[in-house]
Each structure stands twice: as structure tokens, then as C-alpha cells.
Amino acid sequence: MPGEWGLKRILIVAAIVISFVAITVVLFWLSPRLEALGKYGYLGVFLVTFLSSATVILPVPGLAVIFVAAATWNPLLVGLVGSVGGTLGEVTSYYLGYWGRATIITGQPQLYQKAEDWMKRYGSVTVFFFALAPFLVFDLVGIAAGVLRFPMWKFLLACWLGRLPRGIIEAYIGLGVFHLIAPFLFR
């Protein structure tokens, strides 16, 4: 029986990795078209931020949609909806770590090891800080959280608490940038 479980686990991990790669490639190919989702209002913002956070290998630009949406709708609500979508999208990196540690560490072992060390030492604070800072690679923290079996509810709460102020700030920056360039665009 242990051999059978090992084969099942390998097949599950392979299916997950192939799925993530396929989704990421499709989303990368569709990324120029993702901005069109903005016409669907707050639902479009949710979908774009969810999809951009759900990609693990290739980034999909969700920030452009936040900027455009904030210039059109309430920036506070855009930031809130974007933070929820972004948080839920990060579940993919968490489960990638939860179900397939061996497939992850081969990519960037030193960066991953740092992320795992930070998760062991600081837990929710690490998740919060990486979710808050747009210049940090969140996926490795999500993967480490999954590998370490960090409680999902704590992961999601800390991630959302970091993404909420980030989303609101990004929305208001987008609104400000729009107001700065609008006079030059609409002469």
C-alpha cells in the first residue's frame, strides 16, 4: 500500500503542476486581453486580481486594471474588491506547496529556503509583509506556508490584511495618475 500511495501522490502533484503551468501559460497569452475585463465593473476587478494572483510562474498584470478601474469607479471599493480577489488567488501557491514540496525547491532553492525560514520564525507577519509590499515575490511565501502546513485561515487572513491597504493605495495612485495625465489625453 505505501508504494501505491506514493504513485498516487506523484500523479496528483504532476497533475497540479501541469494544471498550474497550463493556466499560467494561457493567462500570460491572454494578459493583454485581461484589461477588457475591467468593463465588467467590480466583478472584472475581482476576476483580474484573482487571476493575476493565481499565476505562479508568469506574472499577469492586474495592476493596470486596478488603475483603470479606480479612475472609473470608487477607488476604495476597487481596492477592497482587488484585495479579496488577490488574496483568494494566492491559494494556488499555498496548495502548490501543500501538495508538492519536491517540485518546488528545484526552481530557486535559496530564495525558497529564506521564505521557509521566515515562515517558521514569523508566520503571519511574513505573509502580511509580503502581501503588503508589491515588490516582493509572494508566491514563495505562499508555497512555504503550504509546505509547513500553516493554517489556511491564518494564511488568508494575514494575506488579506496585507493586500487591503496595498489595494487601496494602488487604487488611489491609479486615480491620481489618471488625474495627472487626463489633461494631456483629453485636450
Q: Bigger pLDDT: 69 or 11?
A: 69
Q: Tens digit of pLDDT for each residue in 43-92?
A: 888 888 888 888 765 556 677 778 778 878 899 999 999 999 999 999 98
Predicted local confidence at residue 157, as pLDDT: 96
Dihedral, 5, 12, 148, 59 alpha carbons, nearest 10: 170
Q: Bigger pLDDT: 77 or 39?
A: 77
Largest CA distance in the chain: 73
The pTM assigned to this predicted structure is 0.73
By residue count, the chain amounts to 187
Closest CA to 142 of 72, 91, 69, 73: 91
Predicted local confidence at residue 48, as pLDDT: 83
Predicted local confidence at residue 83, as pLDDT: 94
pLDDT band at 110 (very low <50, low <70, confident <90, very high): confident
Predicted local confidence at residue 63, as pLDDT: 75
H helix runs in 35-151, sequence order: 42-54, 63-72, 75-89, 91-99, 101-104, 109-122, 124-132, 138-147
Q: Tens digit of pLDDT for each residue in 56-65?
A: 655 566 777 7
Q: Which of 6-20, 61-75, 141-155 has the lowest mean pLDDT?
A: 6-20
